[in-house]
Structure 1
């Protein structure tokens, strides 16, 4: 048996598909509370009808109305584990003088920030795509008086999710940044990588997108759907895995080496389609928050130009 077939067999073995429908947008999303966090930062709690619960969002508010919004997603733990842009980078200082609202949702660990087709015994009702593309932006626009223009960025697990959300959200996001992640395809290797994230959180990949390689998987295949990113500002960054000056924290060279290869492959796909993108392949960097922080700093001017 080839390696790819073995991966697919393993994924199929753990999948037990349960019937279910996809959530639709509900106009009932609303702010349930706000807690000041110092300066222009606040925790804004938003009720999600799609998920039937309140989601915390760390927000850095712009100095006045009419600013665009950057939705900034974190890694595999969803930020609830205390590992996030908010906790591990200079995000509050960096954006303090930028005319932009920065919204950092807390939650979504091991979910790929997508809509799962069925509720899962381990992770519950997962409708992050609906929340991030249909519910939260309207609430933020109303609460902060934005200009209605948005960018989305993700790192590690959420890098591929940011690309998928930029595709699924249509005109919702004018710009996207994918940092140190692994964009997926609905092929055996891509299925195995995406499924591994759900399994790490105790979830069943069959409850996420159904039969491996089936229609819902193909709908979220960012390589197959890359053409739908045309017209958006796209920033891609990853490194080789070799430790470097920007690294801070525990280095994870193998993860970054894989991310570097995946990101380069996706940049190649965009080039094949004639879609412009900025692709930064760093000679050093080993999947640390120091590297991610440097990448966000470099990505911001490209994102800002598209949404300001």
Structure 2
């Protein structure tokens, strides 16, 4: 696997000319899991815990990660054992602290999705996993895009329709996965997502180092980052319904108290989102923009954006 990614990175380095117009699109990756593909046939569910009447917590032994990871699965209210043809909504979390449970701990996602015809799949992605097969490290993308669909979707009767959403680091993952796996997702949403890691390579690398991660362990030399960068891969998202949201970093109406400091991280992400949206519109993509002005890099804005994104992710047919 690492040999394949090294070849991809070397190819990208040759093709890059220092500007986006010269960037070659990433090589498409498999859009559907297969029992003979990668390590999917070796991954297994080692335990299943009933959290509540809708939610299970699965523990997955993942060869791609090299250990066990948790995945939460929420069934729609109308789900019954043996039923089939359900849509899937994959939900990707942000970086640094918390994890997948952050999506579920307030109960808001459960309430919003209860009457939708979708199985909600919320996997762990590591505090700094960045939703990719690392150049030197764990294969998060293989875990999420190959192992989990092969294991979980048949268990819960998922059909062929999927959507994906993520906030912050998870927004990077949502658009990156949709771009690199054409045909797998019909809709994708990024909520304050990191959509252009090449916007400030030095600053972004320093941010990763501050959390104990070497960016070259994740993506290799920066000359090859375009292959995983949503802003460079917009043409791979044609045919996918897109929703993108971000605030400008100034404290806004959903901040819980007065005197909240300006969020420089959200301001930088807003600039990345504008770059991505401009490229997407030039490419003729179907994109809904929600650049809502004042707002920090915090949960109240992400859950509000998730509510706005739901009709795009899971339209009522």
Q: Does 1:25 align with 2:35?
A: no
The Cα offsets for residues 120-166 of structure 1, whole Å up to 9 and x where unpaired, read as xxxxxx21111111111121211101112111111012212211111
The Cα offsets for residues 91-121 of structure 1, whole Å up to 9 and x where unpaired, read as 12221222211111124111211110113xx
Q: Does 1:266 align with 2:276?
A: yes
Q: Does 1:298 align with 2:312?
A: no
* Residue of structure 2 equivalent to 1:145: 157
Q: Does 1:134 align with 2:153?
A: no
Following superposition, the deviation at residue 268 of structure 1 comes to 0.6
Aligned pairs (5 A) from 1:210-229:
210-214=220-224, 217-229=225-237
Unaligned runs of 5+ in 1: 1-18, 120-125
Taking the aligned partners of 1:227 and 1:30, their CA distance within structure 2 comes to: 35
Q: Aligned pair in 2 of structure 1 residues 283, 239: CA closer, same or farther (>3 Å)? A: same
Q: Find the residue that maps to 1:213 and give its secondary structure.
A: helix
CA contact (8 A) 2:125 2:140 kept: no
The one of 169, 179, 201 equivalent to 1:167 is 179
Taking the aligned partners of 1:115 and 1:251, their CA distance within structure 2 comes to: 35
Q: Does 1:56 align with 2:75?
A: no
* Residue of structure 2 equivalent to 1:288: 298
The one of 95, 108, 112 equivalent to 2:130 is 112
* Residue of structure 2 equivalent to 1:16: none
Taking the aligned partners of 1:211 and 1:107, their CA distance within structure 2 comes to: 22
Following superposition, the deviation at residue 78 of structure 1 comes to 5.9
| Deviation larger for 250-259 or 232-241 | 250-259
* Residue of structure 2 equivalent to 1:158: 170
CA contact (8 A) 1:162 1:177 kept: yes
Q: Aligned pair in 2 of structure 1 residues 131, 287: CA closer, same or farther (>3 Å)? A: same
CA RMSD of superposed structures (Å): 2.4
The Cα offsets for residues 264-294 of structure 1, whole Å up to 9 and x where unpaired, read as 2211110111112001110222121111110
Aligned pairs (5 A) from 1:82-121:
84-88=102-106, 90-119=108-137
| Deviation larger for 230-239 or 94-103 | 94-103
* Residue of structure 2 equivalent to 1:231: 239
Q: Matched residue pairs, number?
A: 278
The Cα offsets for residues 57-111 of structure 1, whole Å up to 9 and x where unpaired, read as 122112323211111111113634x872122461122212222111111241112
